[in-house]
Amino acid sequence: MRSRQRMFAAVMRLLLKCLRLGRRRRFKLVRQAEQLWHYGHLCLRSLLYNSFTNGDVVLDSLFEPVYWLVDHVTRWFGVVFVALVIGLTSSIVAIVYICLLPLILQTYTPAWICWHLAYGHWNLIMIVFHYYMAITTSPGHPPQAKGDLTGVSICRKCIAPKPARTHHCSICNRCVLKMDHHCPWLNNCVGHYNHRYFFSFCLFMTMGCIYCSISGWEMFRDAYAAIERMKLLEKERLQVAANQTYYQTPPPTFSFRQRAFHKSVVYLWVLCSSVALALGALTLWHAALITRGETSIERHINKKERQRLQKKGKVFRNPYSYGSWDNWKVFLGVDVPRHWLTRVLLPSPHLPHGTGLRWDLPPCVTEQRAPLLAI
């Protein structure tokens, strides 16, 4: 009996010893894992730590591959977008000349004929001129030399002087004077020297689409009803052909020319109405920015600056805004009253005020600009 008790006690001591050893090893492994984690975290912080790093920097770093992909896709597809604009616009002009113009000359009064011919061709000339100038005119780039530029910042990507209102375009990989945005439909940046061409193209293209939509509304209704009749007659013709006898003849069908005419009118109205809505909204947005003397990029910058100063009890004043009316005069280059005709209502390749490197008071501005900050 005693031998059994001794054996049982020895087994229990051995078991407790094994448990102690296992617990020690487990604690040792946990301590080693914690040391490795702290060591790796310290190495990572020593390599990546920056006192200026915040959540926005981390998000920009994570989305950098997405930005790179978008920039390169936009750069290579810019030519496709330009070809698409030219192709769609040319198709609308061809439909107007081939299908609608003969009908206008046959049915409209001489006064309406003169109106459509004059306004339609004027609008077309303005669209073609401003689109060509927008895609071929350089937006303007700052010089690489540092000699003539004073009081400017340095672009972190170009490592070159960056004047006021200048921003770096990641698609063009260059700094652009008074950059508004990179437009894929132009395959070009919108900046100091072609901003007016871009806005004028949007405005006249919207006006042309609205003109085509309003003028072709009745024709669109008739063409749509004719296409529905075509579908109904086609269904009846197939039914008659399936049950045809010697005493039955299929109903008459529309010719290829009639089908093409009606479908072209529907295509014209749907495309012009869609473009008028989308491009009209974009035009109104840029008109509001021009009224405030801002670009698309400056709108976001000024908004943040306005909120920051508001917390300090100060009011932000845009230093590049001269008042609503003067902002439009500066943007369009209107120095004298006759320029509203020669530079706004007619094609004009005149240059904007200034060089984009300095922003002195234009001669057409009647009032001095407001201060940047006011308490």
Note down the domain range covering 228.
Answer: 60-245+253-360
Rounded average pLDDT per 10-residue block, the chain, 375 residues = 64 63 62 79 69 64 67 77 95 92 88 93 97 95 71 78 88 91 93 96 97 91 87 72 55 73 92 96 96 93 88 88 92 93 95 88 68 39
Q: Please say if 209 is a catalytic residue.
A: no
Locate 357 and state its tokens. 């490197």
Residue 24, domain member (yes or no): no
State residue 14's pLDDT score: 66
Residue 298, domain member (yes or no): yes
State residue 235's pLDDT score: 74
Residue 55, domain member (yes or no): no
Give the number of other Cβ atoms within 10 Å of residue 303's Cβ: 12
Residue 271, domain member (yes or no): yes
State residue 186's pLDDT score: 93
State residue 340's pLDDT score: 94
Residue 273, domain member (yes or no): yes
Residue 70, domain member (yes or no): yes
Residue 74, domain member (yes or no): yes
How many CA atoms, within 13 angstroms, populate the side-chain half-sphere of residue 272?
27
DSSP-assigned beta bridge partners for residue 162: 153
95 within 8 A of 267, measured Cβ to Cβ: yes
Give the number of other Cβ atoms within 10 Å of residue 67's Cβ: 11
DSSP-assigned beta bridge partners for residue 282: none
- Which pTM value belongs to this model? 0.78
State residue 198's pLDDT score: 97
Residue 38, domain member (yes or no): no
State residue 118's pLDDT score: 95
HEC per residue, 124-159? HHHHHHHHHHHHHCCCCCCCCCCCCCCCCEECCCCC
State residue 206's pLDDT score: 97
Q: How far apart are the two ends of the chain, measured CA to CA in Å? A: 100
State residue 269's pLDDT score: 95
State residue 144's pLDDT score: 75
What is the number of domains present in the chain? 1
State residue 11's pLDDT score: 63
Give the number of other Cβ atoms within 10 Å of residue 137's Cβ: 19
Q: Which of 99, 172, 183, 209 is catalytic?
A: 183
